Chains A and B, each alone.
Chain A
Amino acid sequence: MIAAVRPRSLDEAVRHLGEDPALVPTAGCTDLMVRGPEALHRMDRVIDLLGVPELRGIREVEGGIEIGSTTSFSEIRRSAAVRAAFPILAEAATMVGGWQIQNRATLGGNMANASPAGDSLPVLLALDAVVVVAGAQGLREIPYADFHIGYRRTALRPGEIVARVRLPYLPAGAFQAFRKVGTREAQAISKVVVALAGRIEEGRIAELRLAAGSVAAMPVRLRAAEEAVRGQAPGPETADLAGREAAREVTPIDDVRSTADYRRFALERVVRRMVMGIAG
């Protein structure tokens, strides 16, 4: 029999976690419940985050919006605030499994599960998100670019949970784009996911954040490609350059879903097409 603590406030949750950092947080359980009988058996003490109101919902704050960690992808894709400011996050949410999965799967679960294929993760990288983490010591902030530190490893310390994610508004005239290449549109674990956001100034790319999933041990920023196209005018040459650099800098793996070569090839094409789409 498992023991589940079900805190009703964030204070209560971090108190439990402080006393027993080995408690396994549960949210939508769409990853946890498919880990197999043995893993589930070992999970004898859990802390359910779904009853903690501070972790739930989407708020507009000074300079951006904050999304609670237990907010589901259904809520995210429906949110007017998200759709207006960050359409690529709403779009990624529609790609996470089918309707039933989206009703349960949470943004915080996607982040903490830290699969290199998590669909929302390249979007959070491209949008320069900040993670607000809660633990016995209180709250601390981690730039999302520093959150993933290795294959399924995050910067969370024992007893810490993701409380919410802050997305700073993009400046006026900024562009953003998202693309998932899978075996089917929905219900497919991604072969390659790419997200980008940036800004054009006087006809040149002044700023670009380009991120990809399923092309390395963790979701990554494609910094060589970003660097290569900074200051260039958008167009076919710039797009080719970005694609080439992106394919060169990643370290994809062969697995049951795809081969490393295919992923590199797909990434090059997707990046090229997306950078082509940046309006000059």
Chain B
Amino acid sequence: MERLLDVLREGLGLTGTKEGCGEGECGACTVLIDGEPTLSCLVPLFQCEGRRIETVEGIAAGPARDFLERFVATGGVQCGACTPGIVITAWALLQRNPAPSREEAREALAGNLCRCTGICGEPDR
């Protein structure tokens, strides 16, 4: 089954979406499908017909620009493999809940792993 992730990266050249584990464990491949954070490594292409898919390129060019700049400025990045997925998930959380508690942020980001810096710092940004 052809994966949405491969179509984005190879078919469309949208390489902002990363592949970490390819098994649903790391969150690096997160995109929004109809506004919901979804792992593109686990989505077969045929289920995407008629759906709105947003990648990090899309939200970075639009409303999430300021948020992204703040994210980069506070030093959230080492190798950067996890960053697009974290940005998308955090952005989706802030759309639903503009002032999440530490606990809410931690839970929302539990599916996004960072093997360089450790996820624990992320909710502060």
Q: Which residues of A contact B (CB under 8 A)?
A: 2, 4, 6, 26, 28-30, 32-34, 40, 43, 46, 48, 50, 74, 97-101, 103-104, 185-187
Q: Does A99 lie within 8 Å of B110, measured CB to CB?
A: yes
Which residues 15-46 of B sit at the A interface, judged by CB distance below 8 A? 23-25, 27, 30, 36-39, 41-44, 46
Find out whether the CB atom of B44 lies under 8 angstroms from the CB atom of A26.
yes
Neighbouring B residues of A100 by C-beta, 8 Å: 24, 27, 30, 37-39, 89, 111
| Selected contact of A101 from candidates B2, B24, B107, CB within 8 Å | B24
B1 at interface, CB cutoff 8 A? yes
The answer to whether B111 and A187 touch across the interface, beta carbons within 8 angstroms, is yes
Our count of residue pairs bridging A and B at CB distance below 8 angstroms stands at 78
Are B111 and A101 interface neighbours, CB within 8 A?
A: yes
Contact with A along B101-125 (1 / 0, CB 8 A): 0000001111110000000000000
- Does A26 lie within 8 Å of B107, measured CB to CB? no
The reply on B47 being an interface residue by CB < 8 A is yes
Do B46 and A33 touch across chains, with their CB atoms under 8 A apart? no
Chain A residue, CB-CB nearest to B42: A33
In the bound complex, CA of A2 to CA of B111 (Å) = 29
Pairs A–B under 8 Å by Cβ, sample size 15: A4-B46, A26-B47, A32-B1, A33-B1, A33-B41, A33-B44, A34-B42, A48-B46, A98-B111, A100-B24, A101-B111, A103-B38, A186-B107, A186-B111, A187-B110
Q: Take A100-B37, A103-B38 as given contacts and tell me if A34 and B111 are in contact as well, using a CB distance cutoff of 8 Å.
A: no
Chain B residues whose CB sits within 8 angstroms of the CB of A187 once the complex forms: 25, 110-111
* Distance of A186 Cα from B49 Cα, bound (Å): 30
